[in-house]
Structures are given as C-alpha cells and as structure tokens.
Structure 1
Amino acid sequence: MTAATPLASSTTEALRPHAEQTYAAEIEALAKADDRQRPPGWQLSPWAVAQYLLGGQAADGTEITPKYIGARRVVEVAVSTLATDRALLLIGVPGTAKTWLSEHLAAAISGDSTLLVQGTAGTAEEAIRYSWNYARLLAEGPSEEALVPSPIMTAMGRGSVARVEELTRMPSDVQDALITVLSEKTLPVAELGTEAQAQRGFNLIATANDRDRGVNDLSSALRRRFNTVVLPVPDSAEDEVDIVSRRVEQLGRSLDLPRVPESITEIRRVVTVFRELRSGVTEDGQTKVKSPSGTLSTAEAISVVTNGIALAAHFGDGRLSPGDVASGIRGAVVQDRVSDGVVWDEYLETVVRERAEWRDLYRACREVGA
C-alpha cells in the first residue's frame, strides 16, 4: 500500500496560494491605516478595498501592487455594490479578469476567497444549498450534525462573501436556487423545519461569460437580484502589455522559472497580434483582417508568453525569442484547422510579412506551420 497523500500543505508549497495568502502583508498594511467606515463584516473600508485592487502605497510605505488594470469606476461600482444588499454579477468575454477580480474582492473584504461554487452543466442544487452526510443521515435521520453546508451556506453563517463562477453554465433550475438566498437572505432547510439566516456582511459575487449567452440565460427574477458590471477588454495596447507583463512575472516566480531578461518586445508583439485579430483591423487602421473563431484573450496571451519563457529558459539561450512564442501564438489562433488556418495564413502574409521589424517572427511562425 502507498502512503496517503495529505489533503493540505503549507502555503509555501502551494502551487497557487489564495489571494489572501499571497497579499496578506498588503491587506494588513491597508487595514492598519484604514480609518474610514467599514460595512458590517468587512475587514477593510470600500475605499481601502479599491486601493488594494488598483494599487498604490499604504500609509506605512508598503507598496500595493495593482490587481486590476482598467477603469477605476468599474472597481468602485463593484465594491460599492457589495456594500449594499445586492449581489454582484461580473460579465465579460473570456480573459477579462472576472475570476481574478472576484477572488481579490472576496480576499480584501472577507479575508477568505475560498467559499466558491464552480458552475458547470453538472452542478447540482446541493452545491448552492446543502447536502447530507449520508452515513449519519441513514443512522440518525436528519439532524444538524448530518447536514453538510454548501460554500454559500457557510458564507451566510459567517457573514462573508461567497463566489459563484460561470453562473450561466449551471442549469436554470440550479441557478434559481439562489433567488431566496439573495432576496430573503435565508436558506430554508425543509428536512429540519428550520432555516439558515445570513449574517451581516454576507454577499455574493457571480461571474458569467459573454460568449455563454443563450446557454442557460438567467431568469428575470434572478437577474434582478444582481447589479451587473461589465468588464471590458483592456482599452489600450499599453494596458494589455502591462497586464501581461505583470502576470507573467508573477507566474514565473510561483513556478520557479529561471529568470529571463526583459522580454517586452515579444510581449508587445504577442499582444499586438491578438488585438489585431480580435478587432479585425491592424493597429494603424489601414488593413482589415479576418478574426478567428477563438477569443484571443489577455489570459491566453499570458499563457503564450509564460510558455515561451519556459522554452527559452530550458531549451533556448535564456532570452525570449520569436521562436519561443510562435507555436503558442499559432496554437491560440488556430482552433479550427480549416477556417482558422486560412485566417492565420492570410494574417501572416498580409500583415506580419510586410512589417520589416517582424521578419524574424514571420520566419518563426512559418517554420512552426511547415
């Protein structure tokens, strides 16, 4: 027999620590100097939560790294919503940092981002409400000891923020289990003839994908319980380059990738390719291009660059080159070998090839596709 694998390990060994663990020092520094009014159950004031997300400097000089790069008003609306009795729905195309923002909001407000329900086509109503320890249920009958609370039920009892990811992926009848929770702030337990009441500080953040519209649309009754905030793609290429650079650096540290010298040139080129194919026109507005079937999100750009750095560090000369990112770009663009292959070939010939400073990228991409 093999030894049992432990279910938990120290945070220093975790591949991806939770936000409240990674940024504990920043949250503590903000809390110490935070003299503004805090809603019930919040560890920071709304103003300090916004500062935690947008970055800056705490009163003691601690640097607060930006978690979200975008319009300040988007963050302010999201934070202020959670200070009311309305839940927050973050909507956007894939890669617009919905999950990232959701996690950091919960971490800054409640100090716990782990009360999470992952929405899928197979998510059952028990994931929203509660389930049972069936061994105890059969032996003792329904009891509080046999009840297994869902993350949302736990958050209600603690007065914390719960999270639901990919809400529109869940079946409509499962989604509607949230209506009583969000409107009455209670969760009936019919088997015990009782209910769980939400404590002050409880709220819920849900995310939904723009591309999933029509999969399991929210009922009008449920949608009314949310304040919806649309997360846009980064406004400018510079913003997107900044986001990719920061996340790649963070991922590199967490994965212990060998240090690769400044690679802003290749990051900028990856971002430019993705933005042009996404928008259907080149940066200068002179050439129209076809868009592929995939999303080409900022998250995918981060993945392409991170993989390129791993290639450069382990199999290259330690410098990120066009050859290190070429296969990743092609893999992200060409989801459908026929239709996307045509789009990619046309873009290479009409755009990449015509840019003298991109000839090395053109050759690398052609070698990958050969």
Structure 2
Amino acid sequence: MAHDPEGDQTVPETTGTATVRATGVLRPHAEDAFADELAALRAADDRPRPPRWRLSPWAVATYLLGGALPDGTVITPKYVGPRRIVEVAVATLATDRALLLLGVPGTAKTWVSEHLAAAVSGDSTLLVQGTAGTPEEAVRYGWNYARLLTEGPSPDALVPGPVMRAMAEGLTARIEELTRIPADVQDTLITLLSEKTLPIPELGREVQAVRGFNLIATANDRDRGVNELSSALRRRFNTVVLPLPATAEAEVDIVSRRVEQLGRSLDLPAATDATDEIRRVVTVFRELRAGLTADGRTRLKSPSGTLSTAEAISVVTGGLALAAHFGDGVLRPGDVAAGVLGAVVRDPAADRTVWQEYLETVVRERDGWQDFYRACREVTQ
C-alpha cells in the first residue's frame, strides 16, 4: 500500500486485481478494497440483473468464488468452499426471503455477508451489530432528540436506521449475530420481513420496501439457547450453513490468502516462506478440533475453544509481525507458538491439560516438529 509522503491522500495500489483505495483506513470496506474487480465484473456482465442489483447473480457468485473474465481479469476468491452454498445464498437474495448465514465461529459468515452486500448493492455499510444491549431503535429508527423536543415528531427529527435506509433505497442490509439480540427486538423484524413495511406510528405513516431490498443476518450456532429465533422469525429466513473447510489443504489456502491480504493492509514485510508454519498451525487446530490426529490413529481431547480458521489467521498474522519486527522475516515455530497456546488454552485449568497431553503424545513424536515442540514447551512453562 503506497502512502503520499506530503499528506494523507489516498494512493491506490494494485495487488493482483484488487485495489485498496483507502490508504489511511485500517480495514477498507469490501466495495472499496475490491473496487477494480467489481468494476471489471460490471463491464463484462451481460446477464439479467434483479432490480437495483449492481451485478447479476452469476457475477455476484463469481465475485465471491473467483474466476477469470473474458478480458483476462482475474477475480480473486473471497470465499473458499462449496460453490452450491454461494449459489443458494445469492439466489435467496434475488427472492423476497431474507438470508441467514449460520455456522460455528470463524466460518466467514461476516466476511461472506459483507462481500454479498458489496456485490449486490455496492454498499456493505448498512449494518446492525447484534449484542445483548442492541435496542429496537437500531433495527428500526431513532430520533434527533433536540429536534424532537423543539418540533415534536416530524420527518426531520427522524433518524433512519440501516434497515430502514435499505428498505427505502432498495439495498441490502446486514444484521450481525442475530441470536445475540434480545428476543423482543428480534420480533420487530417479523412484520418488516413478512409485510416488507416498517410502520412509523409517531408520524402516522410507514416506509415500504422498494424492489431490491433484502436482509442478510448471521448467527453463531454456538449461541443456541442465548436468544433463540422464534419459529415465526425463522420462517422469514432461508438458512444457509457455512461449514468449516473440508480439507486441510483448503484451510491452508484460506489462511494463506487472508494472511497475505492482512499483511498488505498492515504494511507488514512479506515473509520469505510462511507455508510450512501455516500448514503446521492448521494441522494443530484441525486435529484438536476433531479430537483425532490426521492419520486417524490417536484420539485426542478437544479444548473448550473453537480453534476456527479465523483464529488460525490471527495466529499466523501475529507470528508474521514477530518475524518481521523482531526476527529475520522468516516465519518460524517460535513466532507462532505463543499464538497457538493462546488460542488453545482458553480455560486455564482444563485446556492446559489438553494442550500438554497433545504436545507430549503427538507433537513430540512427529517428524520435523521438534523445533515447534521446543518453542511450545518454552511458552507453556
């Protein structure tokens, strides 16, 4: 990423076909980071588009899954997984049913929802972040209280929420962690999704969704029992389950791609060769996640954490920072050992025992893993 030495202006930098435009922004929105790819797809896309969609469903799927356009432009994969899952998700958004992306933590639910909104509407920022304290106003609308006190309820005092804006403009709204939102706030979505209208009783009016509007929600299936979706609300969604990567090679590919992107955005010097350590971290996470070694010979205890692909990306990125700033730029076992320990040992009592057993019964005996074993033993003491 290039910087303007005379100021804080944006200097586009091309990395493959993706152009990161917001130099001063730590994490550009998908529509900004991949603006060139989206523009190339729009130029080449001659297929029918639903109302107000920036791309056809085929082009949206190509944007997420990657591919090559007739002019030679390479579209980088944003999601590595079964093609049918992406096709079902995109087809859902082309109907009047909302989309619920469900999965364990770290299966790229937020990542996929952001890129879907960017490709469909060109705007991924109409977002409601679900928490235990998310109020009804975040889903519907709020008020400018200074104007409300002086003028009373009026259109000028109304502050539209992201979902309301999406309805009025025919865009795609996003709700993260839907099952974290209190049940009574969730229920405000029922009329909105079934009738495609948002009543504003204070003004005696309503906002009706224009064509092109839809909603993507994500939910963590580890949160079952927190704020379960009512059957009435669940019926308003088409649920797509995002699985963990099916194979170690697929997970290594995902981690490698995301680590490279994050390294560029953080201006980390490129590691000489990080593949071996990425594969090692992925192997550890997959084996502990499954409770079984890759060769199927040894049963293992699983720790309390999820050990997701997202956590593997975080561990490797942290290791690259260590290698770049305190080493010789080569990612080594000592650079990732502390990160692996932190990801595995979430419960200091139970998880530490699981980790020590894994070190002694698996890592210690594995050919070529002696440096990793010693590094992990050093940080585990």
Indicate the TM-score class for this superposition, using the shorter chain for normalisation: over 0.9
> For residues 76 and 229 of structure 1, what CA distance do their matches in structure 2 show?
10
CA distance in 1, matches of 2:361, 2:72: 50
Q: Which residue matches 1:107?
A: 118
Q: 1:58 Cα shift?
A: 1.9
> 2-side partners of 1:259 and 1:228: how far apart?
39
Cross-structure match for 1:348? 359
Q: 1:27 aligns with which of 38, 59, 63?
A: 38
Say yes or no: does 1:119 pair with 2:130: yes
Displacement of 1:317 after TM fit?
A: 1.7
Task: Quote how far apart the aligned CAs of 1:343 are.
Answer: 0.1
Q: Distance in 2 between matches of 1:41 and 1:61?
A: 27
On the 8 A contact 1:119/1:165 being kept in 2, the answer is: yes
Q: Does 1:247 align with 2:262?
A: no
Q: Aligned to 1:95, which of 92, 106, 121?
A: 106
Per the alignment, in what secondary structure is the counterpart of residue 47 of structure 2? coil
Q: Match for residue 152 of structure 2?
A: 141
Residue 59 of structure 1 deviates from its aligned partner by 2.4
Partner of 1:12: 23
Specify the alignment match of 1:325 in structure 2.
336
Report the 3-state secondary structure (helix = DSSP H, G, I; strand = E; otherwise coil) of the residue aligned with 1:356. coil
What is the distance in 1 between the residues matched to 2:327 and 2:41? 42
Q: Is the 8 A contact 1:87 1:225 kept in 2?
A: yes
What are the residue-to-residue correspondences of 1:307-322 with 2, within 5 Å? Answer: 307-322=318-333
- Contact 1:96–1:232 (CA under 8 A) maintained in structure 2: yes
The answer to whether residue 192 in structure 2 is matched with residue 213 in structure 1 is: no
Give the Å deviation of 1:369. 1.2
Structure 1 CA distance for aligned equivalents of residues 9 and 232 of structure 2: 42
Of 119-128 and 8-17, more deviation after overlay is shown by 8-17
Q: Which residue of 2 aligns with 1:334?
A: 345
Q: Distance in 1 between matches of 2:25 and 2:292?
A: 42
Please give the alpha-carbon distance, in whole angstroms, between the structure 2 residues aligned to 1:79 and 1:67. Answer: 14
| Residue aligning to 1:177 | 188
3-state DSSP class of the match of 1:227? strand
Unaligned runs of 5+ in 2: 1-7, 11-21
Deviation at 1:9, TM superposition (A): 8.5
Q: Sequence identity, in percent?
A: 75
What TM-score, normalized to structure 1? 0.97
Instruction: Report the alpha carbon displacement of residue 121 of structure 1 after superposing the two structures with TM.
Output: 0.1
Deviation at 1:359, TM superposition (A): 0.8
Pairing 1:163-312 to 2, within 5 Å after superposition:
163-312=174-323
Query: Deviation of residue 331 (structure 1)?
Result: 0.5
The number of residues matched between the two structures is: 363
Report the counterpart of residue 75 of structure 1 in structure 2. Answer: 86
| Segment drifting more, 259-268 vs 64-73 | 259-268
Alpha carbon RMSD of aligned pairs, Å? 1.0
Unpaired runs of 5+ in structure 1?
Answer: 1-7
Indicate whether 1:153 and 2:175 are aligned: no
**Secondary structure of 2:369's match?**
helix
Equivalent-residue separation in structure 2 for 1:215 and 1:330 (angstroms): 28
Q: Distance in 1 between matches of 2:72 and 2:125?
A: 29
Q: Contact 1:30 / 1:59 at 8 angstroms: preserved in 2?
A: no
- Aligned AA for 2:357? E
